[in-house]
């Protein structure tokens, strides 16, 4: 693991899970379909591929989840945080509450340690509410 990779891992606030799903990506004037997700968290995702962009560029991610009785279509605003030779690290910057709850559910069901993931969600909730999680 490179020093740069280690620094990014230390910056992460949320559990990442491997996911074998694809997304569509609107990046500037370009549209990409069937982009493979390498990993996902409630804070962002890594998509595989070669793209002409730079860190700081804005994009939109579309994820469609189809079940036996319903479908879910998520539109997530994101910013490019890191450009690598094999893909992009994207940080979500705009999503609906329903999208956030769906991502939490995916992470909880896919995480190696769901308890740690749930604790991260609660800690983040308390932090954003100005409440110390240890006092609850």
User: pLDDT tens digits for the chain (136 residues)?
Assistant: 333 444 444 455 688 898 888 999 999 999 999 999 999 999 999 999 999 999 999 999 999 888 778 788 899 999 999 999 999 999 999 999 999 899 999 999 999 998 988 888 888 778 877 776 555 5
- Give the count of beta carbons closer than 10 Å to the beta carbon of residue 88: 26
pTM listed for this prediction: 0.81
Cβ of 102: how many Cβ atoms within 10 Å? Answer: 17
Number of domains the chain contains: 1
Nearest to 106 by CA among 30, 35, 19: 19
Query: For position 128, which CATH number holds?
Result: 2.40.10.220
Map residue 45 onto helix, strand or coil: strand
Question: What is the chain's length?
Answer: 136
| Contact call for residues 104 and 42 (beta carbons, < 8 A) | yes
Q: Which residues, including other chains, have CB under 8 Å from residue 104's CB and lie 6 or more apart?
A: 42, 121
Residue 131: domain span: 3-135
């Amino acid at each position: 693991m490179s020093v740069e990779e280690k620094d990014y891992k230390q910056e992460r606030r949320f559990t990442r899970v491997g996911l074998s799903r694809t997304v569509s990506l609107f990046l500037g004037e370009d549209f990409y379909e069937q982009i493979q997700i390498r990993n996902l968290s409630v804070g962002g995702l890594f998509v595989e591929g070669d793209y002409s962009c730079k860190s700081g560029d804005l994009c939109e991610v579309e994820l469609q989840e189809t079940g036996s009785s319903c479908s879910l279509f998520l539109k997530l605003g994101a910013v490019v945080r890191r450009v690598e030779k094999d893909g992009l690290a994207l940080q979500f910057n705009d999503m609906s509450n329903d999208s956030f709850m769906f991502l939490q559910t995916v992470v909880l069901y896919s995480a190696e340690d769901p308890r740690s993931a749930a604790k991260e969600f609660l800690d983040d909730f308390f932090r954003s509410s100005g409440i110390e999680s240890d006092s609850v």
